[in-house]
Amino acid sequence: MLKKIRARLNGILEESAVLRHYFWKYRRWVGVGFAALLMVDALEVVPPLLMMAAVDLALGKPVVISHTHWSPSFSGLAWTYIGVSFLQAIGRYGWRMYLIRAGVLAGRDMRGGFARHLFGLGASFFDRTPIGALMSLSTNDVEAVRNMIGAGFLTMADSLIYFMTVPVAMWMLSPKLTLIAFIPLPFLPWIIRRNEREIHQRFEKVQECFGDLSAMTQESLNGVRVLKAFSKEEVQSRRFKALGERYVRLNLKLAVVQSAFGPTLDFAMSLGMVFLLIVGGRMVISQHGSGGTEAITLGVFVAFQRYIQKMVWPMAAFGVSLGIYERAVSSSERIKKIENERTDVPEAAQTELPRGALPGGPWKAEGRIEFRNLSFRFPRSEREVLRGISLSIEPGERVAFVGTIGSGKSALLSLLPRLYLVSDGMLWIDGVDVNRWPLKELRRQVGYVGQEVFLFSESVMENIAYGLQERSLVPAQRECAVQRASELVHVHGEVSGFVSAYATRVGERGVSVSGGQKQRLTVARAIVQEPPILVLDDALSAVDVQTEARLLEGLRSRPGRNTELIAAHRISTVRDADRIVVLDHGQIVQTGAHQKLISEKDGIYWRFCQQQRFEEELVEYERGLGEGVLV
């Protein structure tokens, strides 16, 4: 038994670690709030006594409180009452402002800490974790924890303090009546807990059904064309209605326990009142006669009426706060699980920089890149997406990568800025293993543009100047750099044509821009910070061929340029590269300049060119069609 208790206590200590951390952090606030609470609850003793005095005074009886005789006046009582109310008002203000605010601040800190942790996790974590789940952690679960730190702790402390003060006063008035009044109370926390659980379970079911309703609505809205094509609108509406009826039933089941909850507590309290009426009434009557039972005045009777009425809430609150506590614990465990995740591309224990380079300084890498028998698989995957890649890229070279979808181009390029982890000794930049580079420094040197374009919901200016924050530039310099970059990628003209030019907001919540424009903006974003190594992973696929050719030509003279790695699906993109690397099933199958590769008849690259030739012919023909030459 003792062992069990000790185990449970240890369990509580362990599960409440997060909560205790924040209590300690905000101990001053919690302390002040607690003191205010203490004052309010201690003063709760007084008003019933004042009413008792008023009643006895009205009856012309002596006012006796713990064997001391008082001779108050009505106005004295009234002023005391007002004074006590005033003090209580101050206390109530205090505990709300201090205790609940501490909860809000703790919630804020938790959210901030959670976000900080997320910002430090590697790409592979985000590949496998749905964003919705993380969002729900940062809102619902954080909210559950902060609710415990604020309201939960408050109600818990409130009821504990209340039961340490008020019963003392009651006992002093009449021990017997106190016992009588307490008869229904011990069952309350038990009833409340059971009810809490029942409500919680039924509520979960309601929530689940609500989720089903939302899912069905979403699914139907997404598939509305299918439903229409098969004339199944009516069928689906009936299914929805049936599910809705189930939802109603579950809600009503919840309503049964929920609507009974408050009144049940109320009933328990009222039972105390009935006992008071009988037992206390008997005691009042016996004060006139000679009855053997303990006698009380009417004033005491009235005071007890008030005390009992006030007792239910703290009792109920205690049960409720236990529920809040349970939820906070399970939420903090869910959060902890994510906080235990570690990034898969951590900083090396001992970082290293190429010779002569100063960390954080304005130096540029030479851009010598070496793949040494590199093989790679994505985390938690069995399949090798790259095998035996050996390749050496000299500073100043432009190397293009060609291959079908799944040939490993993207995986290869994503290793350069260390988005994913590659084993030691396989990838070297300027003679330093990529894993030994300080991560920030590496990413400063490698400008990487991936396939998925992502713009933030900010202005074009902010989006392009994205990488400039480390260089403290005055606004004019910034604008100048942004404009230069956007001229280089041939998007300046189009941006100037937007309604608010560079101030136009883009991204998810901004105006929609075409795929080609988006791609060029992301390239501009990468080159504005003038990285010596530029990696374009199929980053120009939606840009038309002519613009692309001019853009690529322009990039050769971009400031700070050294090495370029470009993956593409179009011959036009790669034709002018210094070297072309053809990948197939994760291996290098051909390397060389365009002229050399095209001479290897029936090679992958040759076939690739063939196809493009037909495509060009087709496009040419279609252009003729479009202009009405052939119609």
Partner 1 sequence: MSAQAGLEGYFDVDIEEQRKDESHFETRAFLPLIGMIARHRAPLFSGFLMVIVATVATLLEPWLFGRAIDEAMVPGDWPKLQRFALVYFSVVGLRVFSTIGQSYLFELLGQRVTHELRSDLFSRLLRLPTSVYDKTPAGRLLTRVTNDVASLAEMFSAGFVSILSNALLVIGILVCLVVMDRKVGLIAASVFPGLMLLGAYFSSKLRVAYREARSKLSALNAFLAENLLGMKVVQLFNREELHLSRFNRINNWYADAQIGTIRIFALFQPAITIFAGLSAALVIVFGGAATRNGSMKLGVLVTFFSLVLTLFQPVRELADKWNVFLSGMASAERIFSVLSWPVETEAASAEVKPIAGLKGEIVFEDVWFAYEGEHWILRGLSVAIPAGSRIGVVGHTGAGKTTLISLLMRFYEPQRGRILIDGKDIRDYDKHALRASIGIIQQDVFLFSGSLQENVTLWGPPDDRKGDNKNVHEALALVDFDKGELQERGTNLSMGERQVLAFSRALAADPAIWILDEATANMDSQTEGRLGESLARAAHGQTTLLIAHRLATVRSADRILVLHKGTLVEQGDHAQLMAANGLYARLYRFQEAAL
Stretch 424-463 residues interacting with partner 1 (CB under 8 A): 440, 443-444, 448, 450, 454, 456-458, 462
- CA-based angle 380:125:375, to the nearest 5? 45
Listed residue (449, 387, 394, 451) closest to 422, CA to CA = 387
Report the run of H or E that residue 68 belongs to, with start and end.
Answer: strand 68-70
Give me 253's structure tokens.
């089941």
User: Based on CB atoms, which residue is closest to partner 1, 238 or 596?
Assistant: 238
**Stretch 492-521 residues interacting with partner 1 (CB under 8 A):** 505, 507-510
Report helix, strand or coil for 436.
Answer: coil
Q: Which stretch binds partner 1 (CB under 8 A): 162-170, 175-183, 375-383, 605-613?
A: 605-613
**Stretch 292-331 residues interacting with partner 1 (CB under 8 A):** 298, 301-302, 305-306, 309
User: Based on CB atoms, which residue is closest to partner 1, 425 or 624?
Assistant: 624
User: Based on CB atoms, which residue is closest to partner 1, 188 or 419?
Assistant: 419
Q: Please, what is the minimum distance in Å from the beta carbon of residue 85 to partner 1?
A: 2
Sole binder of partner 1 in the list 423, 477, 514, 611 (CB under 8 A): 611
Cα radius of gyration (the chain) = 38
User: Based on CB atoms, which residue is closest to partner 1, 217 or 496?
Assistant: 217
Q: Please, what is the minimum distance in Å from the beta carbon of residue 34 to partner 1?
A: 16
- CA-based angle 262:264:266, to the nearest 5? 70
Sole binder of partner 1 in the list 160, 172, 191, 273 (CB under 8 A): 273
Sole binder of partner 1 in the list 10, 85, 201, 390 (CB under 8 A): 85
CB atoms within 10 A of CB 562: 20
Q: Please, what is the minimum distance in Å from the beta carbon of residue 546 to partner 1?
A: 19
**Stretch 529-568 residues interacting with partner 1 (CB under 8 A):** 529
Listed residue (368, 419, 412, 381) closest to 583, CA to CA = 412
Q: Binding string to partner 1 for residues 187 to 226, with x set by CB under 8 A, is what?
A: -----------------------x--xxx-xxxxxxxxxx
Q: Please, what is the minimum distance in Å from the beta carbon of residue 390 to partner 1?
A: 25
The reply to whether 149 sits near partner 1 by the rule CB under 8 A is no
The reply to whether 183 sits near partner 1 by the rule CB under 8 A is no
Residue 68 near residue 48 (C-beta atoms within 8 A)? no
User: Based on CB atoms, which residue is closest to partner 1, 373 or 610?
Assistant: 610
3-state secondary structure string, 223-259?
CHHHHHHCCCHHHHHHHHHHHHHHHHHHHHHHHHHHH
Q: Please, what is the minimum distance in Å from the beta carbon of residue 533 to partner 1?
A: 12
Report helix, strand or coil for 408.
Answer: coil
How far apart, in whole angstroms, are the C-alpha atoms of residue 589 and residue 608? 14
User: Based on CB atoms, which residue is closest to partner 1, 297 or 557?
Assistant: 297
Please give the size of the binding site for partner 1, defined by CB under 8 A: 150
Please report, for residues 487, 498, 517, 519, 520, the alpha-carbon distance to residue 512 in angstroms, rounded to integers and kept in the order given.
21, 11, 10, 13, 14
Backbone angles phi, psi at 346, to 5 degrees: -75, 165
Interhelix angle 298-339/17-25, rounded to 10 degrees, is: 110
**Stretch 41-80 residues interacting with partner 1 (CB under 8 A):** 47, 50-51, 54-55, 57-60, 74-75, 77-79
The reply to whether 9 sits near partner 1 by the rule CB under 8 A is no
User: Hunting for tokens 């009144």 — which residue is that?
Assistant: 263
Please report, for residues 30, 35, 149, the alpha-carbon distance to residue 24 in angstroms, rounded to integers and kept in the order given.
9, 16, 11
Residue 251 near residue 206 (C-beta atoms within 8 A)? yes
Backbone angles phi, psi at 189, to 5 degrees: -55, -35
User: Based on CB atoms, which residue is closest to partner 1, 81 or 363?
Assistant: 81
Q: Which residues of 458-474 are buried (b: 16+ CB within 10 A; e: fewer)?
A: bbbbbbbbbbbeeeeee
The reply to whether 614 sits near partner 1 by the rule CB under 8 A is yes
Q: Across the strands, what pairs with 566? A: 400, 536
Q: Please, what is the minimum distance in Å from the beta carbon of residue 274 to partner 1?
A: 5
Sole binder of partner 1 in the list 32, 35, 64, 260 (CB under 8 A): 260
**Stretch 348-407 residues interacting with partner 1 (CB under 8 A):** 404
How far apart, in whole angstroms, are the C-alpha atoms of residue 147 and residue 324? 7
Q: Please, what is the minimum distance in Å from the beta carbon of residue 11 to partner 1?
A: 31
User: Based on CB atoms, which residue is closest to partner 1, 293 or 392?
Assistant: 293
The reply to whether 228 sits near partner 1 by the rule CB under 8 A is yes
The reply to whether 417 sits near partner 1 by the rule CB under 8 A is yes
Report helix, strand or coil for 565.
Answer: strand
The reply to whether 247 sits near partner 1 by the rule CB under 8 A is yes
- CA-based angle 295:299:303, to the nearest 5? 105
User: Based on CB atoms, which residue is closest to partner 1, 10 or 237?
Assistant: 237
User: Based on CB atoms, which residue is closest to partner 1, 96 or 176?
Assistant: 96
Report helix, strand or coil for 593.
Answer: coil
**Stretch 116-135 residues interacting with partner 1 (CB under 8 A):** 116, 118-121, 123, 126, 131, 134-135
**Stretch 87-116 residues interacting with partner 1 (CB under 8 A):** 88-90, 92-93, 96-97, 100-101, 104-105, 107-108, 111-112, 115-116
The reply to whether 227 sits near partner 1 by the rule CB under 8 A is yes
